[in-house]
Amino acid sequence: MKFAHRVWRLLVAVKDALALVFLLLFFGALYALLMARPAATRIQDGALLLDLNGSIVEEKSRIDPLALLLGSKAPAGEYQARDLERALHLAATDSRIKVVVLDMSRFLGGGMVHIEEIGQSMDEVRKAGKPVLTFANAYADDGVQLASHASEVWIDPMGGAFVAGPGGNQVYFKGLLDRFKVNAHVFRAGTYKSFVEPYMRSDMSPEAREAMQDVYGALWNSYRANIAAARPRAQLDRMTGDPLGWAKASGGDFAEGAKAAGIVDRIGDKSEFDARVASIAGKDDSDQDGRDLPYRHTALAAWLAANPEKKEGAEIGVVTIAGEIVDGDAGPGRAGGDRIAQLLDDNIDEGFKALVVRIDSPGGSAMAAERMRRAIERYKAKKIPIVVSMGNLAASGGYWVSTPGQTVFAQPATITGSIGVFAVITSFENTLAQYGVTSDGVKTTPLSGQPDILGGLSPEVEGMLQASIESTYHKFVGISAQARRTTPEKMDAIAQGRVWPGSEAQRIGLVDRMGDLNAALAEAARLGGVGNGKWHAVYLQSEEDTVTRFVNSYTSQAPDEDSHARAYDFASLVSQRREEQGAHLAGQLAAMLSTSGAQAYCLECPVVPGAARKADKGTTLQALARLVGLN
Query: How far is residue 474's CA from residue 153's CA, in Å, rounded to a whole number?
Result: 51
Closest listed residue to residue 326, CA positions, set 336, 318, 317, 316: 336
Q: Are the CB atoms for 97 and 48 separated by under 8 Å? A: yes
Q: How many CB atoms are located within 10 Å of the residue 305 CB?
A: 14
For residue 132, list its beta bridge partners: 100
Query: How far is residue 55's CA from residue 115's CA, in Å, rounded to a whole number?
Result: 11
DSSP string for 73-118: SPPPEEEEHHHHHHHHHHHHH-TTEEEEEEE-TT--B--HHHHHHH
Residues 6+ apart with CB under 8 A from 558: 289, 290, 291
Q: Are the CB atoms for 124 and 92 separated by under 8 Å? A: yes
Q: Is 181 a catalytic residue?
A: no
Q: Are the CB atoms for 398 and 347 separated by under 8 Å? A: no
Closest listed residue to residue 617, CA positions, set 579, 589, 588, 567: 579
Closest listed residue to residue 301, CA positions, set 559, 92, 74: 559
Largest Cα span, the chain: 94
Query: Before 75, cis peptide (omega within 30)?
Result: no
Catalytic residue among 98, 130, 193, 353: 193
Catalytic residue among 194, 396, 418, 556: 396
Closest listed residue to residue 370, CA positions, set 397, 330, 389: 397
DSSP string for 310-371: P--SEEEEEEEEES-EESSS--SSSEEHHHHHHHHHHTTTS--SEEEEEEEE-EEEHHHHHH
Q: Are the CB atoms for 362 and 58 separated by under 8 Å? A: no
Query: How far is residue 205's CA from residue 192's CA, in Å, rounded to a whole number?
Result: 9
Q: Is 193 a catalytic residue?
A: yes
Q: Are the CB atoms for 288 and 324 separated by under 8 Å? A: no
Active site amino acids: 193, 396
